[in-house]
Structure 1
Amino acid sequence: MFSKIATRFACASVLFVSSSLTGEAHSQTLTMGAALQRALAASPRLTAAERDVGIARGQRIQSGALINPEISYEQDNSFGSGAYRGTRSAETTLQVSQMFELWGKRDARIAAGQAGFDAAGIGRQAVRLEVLSETAIAFVSVLGLQRRIQILDEQIEAIDKISPLLQRRVEAGASSIAETGRAEVASALVKADRERTRSSLASARRELAILMGDGAPKFAAVSGRLEVTGKPPTFQSVVAAIDANPQLVRWKAIYAQRNAELLLARLKPYPDVTVSAGWRRFNETGDNAVRLSLSVPIPVFDQNQGNILSAQESLAKTAAERQGNRNTLIVVAGRAYDSLQGSLRELTILRETAIPKSRDAADAISEGYGQGRYSLLEVLDAQASVAQARLREQEAQQNFHVAVATIEGLVGNPFALARGSAR
């Protein structure tokens, strides 16, 4: 399932039209799909998660290792005095000892190692989703700021188009020279907004480049469409889907791991058996004999009560940790969902009323200005209203797609939107 997330995000995080370019590192236009693939390939967090899986794999292998046997050599009755001078009366023993774990301790240890490995694998999936979501959001930010600069450029162009007509009116005595300065100020203020936006765009481009593993942007622009939206499913369905998020799924593996650790703590006081077999040589008589021994520790003083209590509390803590994690995800999803719904309502108002009405008014006032029926201030105000409505639309579109990418990162699947075209 999660091996296909990158492809799904390319199709689902934002509605973007695929570019004919390939999206290579030095291509002119970067597509969402290329950005996601490169982010997955370059993410140090994902690499670290891969190493966590390797660490857990090693621990799982080690958990099944058998206890090594011991070999010992003993020499008695030597280097003393009298009959025990030197080694003539020495007794030497060569012995091999092996401890045997009983009561299912090894099985419990293996279960704990396997659960740790499972948790690491699921954790890697969670990191993968986070990288995809963050990259999609960064891509949307760049695309939105590109669009914002385009709108500001068009506003500047509209103001500058008035200048020839304004100059003629000044020369004819129909307008004062002060109006020329007013137009220049209006144009300069929009240009200042554009420079601020360019600064934000530079930061957003750098952030996207770093997510893709580059120190600086190696793309000229990003390609996509922000204007296409749709109706989302209910918030209840989003909450239900969150339970499939790897951040929550991994708690099952963590619970199994801690349960196995509790079992190990409870089994530790139960004694294991050490069996020894050796060969004894009696130098004085030249005789040989077999030596057998069996040892079992007596759990009188240490019954591992402290570790058992600690393991019990750790196991009981798991449910609270999972619920806290789930609550956090629901809060994040709720904020994103509210932002999504608010953006849709805002877009409806802007598209049905604000933008068309402001454009009609601006066209009428601009035409009337040429006929002397409106002042320059009214023209500039009408143009500013159009630009403001379009900038609000761009902001709402960007917020909508950021919210979609955020929710998709939480549910782990494309966020299906009801609309005519496929997403």
Structure 2
Amino acid sequence: MKRLYPAWGVAALVSILLLQSKAHAQVSSYTDTLRLSLPDAEKRFIDSNLQLLAAHYDVDAQKALIKQAGLWDNPVLSTDHMITADNKWFPYGKTTSDGAPLSQYAIQLEQLIYTAGKRGKQINMAVTNGRISELQLQDLLRNLRYQLHAGYYMVAKQIAYRQIYQEQLAQLQKLSSGMKTQLEAGNIARKDYLRIQALVLSLQQDMAELDRDIADTQTDLRVLLQVKDGSFILPATNATALFAGVNASMPEQIDAVIASGEQNNPYYQLQQAQVLYQQQNLAYQKALRVPDVTVQTNFDKNSNVAINYWGVGFSVPLPLFNRNQGNIKSAEATIKQQQALTQDAATSLRQDIRNAYQKLAIALQQHNSSREQFYEDYRGMQENMVKSYALKQVGLPEFIDFFTDFTTSQQRLIAQQLNLALAKEQLNYAVGTDVVK
């Protein structure tokens, strides 16, 4: 048994080294692949996302309402005509036997005039409402852009994980195949073979779970990018190159970052605009206490007073019972409600920025050259460990422990790189602008 062990071990070693040289090719080849860089994905997202398109239409609709708010009410024209008199239909131009005219008609023109600056207040509310719509669009863009970037980085991480699983699984399957032959020849213990089989099953289960996660991420990205078919969205570069291009450094002092957030975060600005809108609504509700005036002019042909009667008049409702008291109190309460929400948004903004700032600091601390060198050295050890196991210089338990630790270490490296990219995106998202380029 001892004479045969190195033979199958060397065979397994040769197969493993060949597999390692083809690691990149072993990543699943997806049909209908859509390969995009992050800038290309963002451009496609801006051009085709239907949620953004709908929000743009809402902005246009609110701008149209600003113009509508400034329009005067149309004048009202009313007429009154005689139909029959002395058994004569439409007796226009006809007279009685004594020369008196038979026909009579009246024309009246009315115009509603708003008082207390109601029209100007409505225009102000419409302008603020348009601003609210624009801020809602900006906030939607901020949220969807963060989802796009996070999803893009997540796909890169998931594909890198899958490549690790594929490499390790291929190694174990080759090793398992060689051990099966030796088991049948009675050269190794069955427990050693079963331990390798257990590792194979564990990796296969991990890969299946990862594939489910990949499917979920792909669905989200297809919706964001409006991909109509089932194309697999693949980053233009692998995870190593992608994350290597993520350059991040700590921005200025936290207080300056918070001040920038107060000026640029669209959700916080939206809450402030809502306060302004409610204040304008209160002013409008108070203006409604003042009644509007309807002015009119009329002409009456052959009236009882004169043959050609011209008159002017006006009408105004008397504010004896309804002085809009309920709507005014409601508007005052709504202002207080919105002010409370704005204060809450300010607190959330500051804490979100502080949290993201701290996470970026932690990610940068973890992301340094010494740690990168450790992972490079660890990758080099893998090859030596395989050789040592093939030559029986290490036992199976030690080999399995190293194999498991190596897989975990490679995943941690990718997760560490992903955390830096996401920490950068999260801080930019919280502030509302790219404070970390």
TM-score scaled by length of structure 2: 0.77
Given candidates 311, 317, 322, the residue that maps to 2:342 is 322
Cα gap change, 1:208 to 1:27, in 2 (>3 Å): same
Given candidates 66, 75, 78, the residue that maps to 1:72 is 78
Q: Which amino acid aligns with 2:115?
A: L
Query: Matches of 1:302 and 1:138 in 2, distance apart?
Result: 57
Which structure would you say has the larger Rg?
2
Deviation at 1:382, TM superposition (A): 0.8
Given candidates 236, 241, 262, the residue that maps to 2:260 is 241
Q: Which amino acid aligns with 2:165?
A: L
Q: Does 1:374 align with 2:394?
A: yes
Deviation at 1:367, TM superposition (A): 4.1
Query: Matches of 1:137 and 1:217 in 2, distance apart?
Result: 20
Residue of structure 2 in register with 1:392 after alignment: 412
Cα gap change, 1:60 to 1:325, in 2 (>3 Å): same
Are the counterparts in 2 of residues 362 and 379 from structure 1 also a CA contact under 8 Å? no
Residue of structure 1 in register with 2:313 after alignment: 293
Q: Which amino acid aligns with 2:261?
A: I
Deviation at 1:364, TM superposition (A): 5.3
| Unmatched tracts of structure 2, length 5 or more | 1-31, 87-95
Given candidates 43, 48, 53, the residue that maps to 1:47 is 53
Cα gap change, 1:353 to 1:171, in 2 (>3 Å): farther
2:289 match: secondary structure: coil
Are the counterparts in 2 of residues 49 and 124 from structure 1 also a CA contact under 8 Å? yes
Q: Deviations over 1:346-399 (max 9, x none)?
A: 455992686367556655544443443321121121121111111122123223
Cα gap change, 1:230 to 1:109, in 2 (>3 Å): closer
Residue of structure 1 in register with 2:249 after alignment: 231
Q: Which amino acid aligns with 1:72?
A: S
Residue of structure 1 in register with 2:216 after alignment: 203
Query: Matches of 2:50 and 2:219 in 1, distance apart?
Result: 17
Given candidates 126, 141, 151, the residue that maps to 1:128 is 141
Superposed counterparts of 1:26-105, under 5 Å? 28-74=34-80, 92-105=105-118
Are the counterparts in 2 of residues 92 and 281 from structure 1 also a CA contact under 8 Å? yes
| Unmatched tracts of structure 1, length 5 or more | 1-25, 81-85, 417-422
1:290 match: secondary structure: strand
Are the counterparts in 2 of residues 151 and 387 from structure 1 also a CA contact under 8 Å? yes
Are the counterparts in 2 of residues 144 and 226 from structure 1 also a CA contact under 8 Å? no
1:66 match: secondary structure: coil
Q: Deviations over 1:232-290 (max 9, x none)?
A: 33544443332111122233433333222222111112233322211122267972121
Query: Matches of 1:349 and 1:403 in 2, distance apart?
Result: 19
Given candidates 226, 235, 239, the residue that maps to 1:213 is 226
Q: After superposing the two structures, state which structure 1 stretch, 41-50 or 66-75, moved more.
A: 66-75
Deviation at 1:329, TM superposition (A): 4.0
1:73 match: secondary structure: strand
Residue of structure 2 in register with 1:412 after alignment: 432
Query: Matches of 2:333 and 2:85 in 1, distance apart?
Result: 57
Superposed counterparts of 1:185-196, under 5 Å? 185-196=198-209
Are the counterparts in 1 of residues 104 and 301 from structure 2 also a CA contact under 8 Å? yes
Are the counterparts in 2 of residues 73 and 92 from structure 1 also a CA contact under 8 Å? yes
1:251 match: secondary structure: helix
Are the counterparts in 1 of residues 66 and 126 from structure 2 also a CA contact under 8 Å? yes
Q: After superposing the two structures, state which structure 1 stretch, 105-114 or 66-75, moved more.
A: 66-75
1:226 match: secondary structure: helix
Cα gap change, 1:237 to 1:198, in 2 (>3 Å): farther
Superposed counterparts of 1:108-187, under 5 Å? 108-160=121-173, 162=175, 175-187=188-200
Are the counterparts in 2 of residues 46 and 128 from structure 1 also a CA contact under 8 Å? yes
Q: Does 1:355 align with 2:375?
A: yes
Query: Matches of 2:309 and 2:283 in 1, distance apart?
Result: 42
Are the counterparts in 1 of residues 79 and 106 from structure 2 also a CA contact under 8 Å? yes
Deviation at 1:122, TM superposition (A): 2.1
Are the counterparts in 2 of residues 368 and 374 from structure 1 also a CA contact under 8 Å? yes
Query: Matches of 1:375 and 1:351 in 2, distance apart?
Result: 28
Q: Which amino acid aligns with 2:135?
A: I
1:311 match: secondary structure: helix
Q: Which amino acid aligns with 2:434?
A: P
Cα gap change, 1:262 to 1:195, in 2 (>3 Å): same
Query: Matches of 1:347 and 1:389 in 2, distance apart?
Result: 14
2:394 match: secondary structure: coil
Q: Which amino acid aligns with 2:267?
A: Q
TM-score scaled by length of structure 1: 0.79
Query: Matches of 2:181 and 2:80 in 1, distance apart?
Result: 116
Q: Deviations over 1:16-66 (max 9, x none)?
A: xxxxxxxxxx66522111211222222222122112212212321211110
Cα gap change, 1:331 to 1:346, in 2 (>3 Å): same
Aligned residues: 388
Are the counterparts in 2 of residues 165 and 370 from structure 1 also a CA contact under 8 Å? no
Are the counterparts in 1 of residues 303 and 309 from structure 2 also a CA contact under 8 Å? no
Deviation at 1:90, TM superposition (A): 7.3
Q: After superposing the two structures, state which structure 1 stretch, 308-317 or 104-113, moved more.
A: 308-317
Residue of structure 2 in register with 1:23 after alignment: none
Are the counterparts in 2 of residues 279 and 291 from structure 1 also a CA contact under 8 Å? yes
Deviation at 1:159, TM superposition (A): 3.5
Deviation at 1:305, TM superposition (A): 1.3
Query: Matches of 1:124 and 1:353 in 2, distance apart?
Result: 45
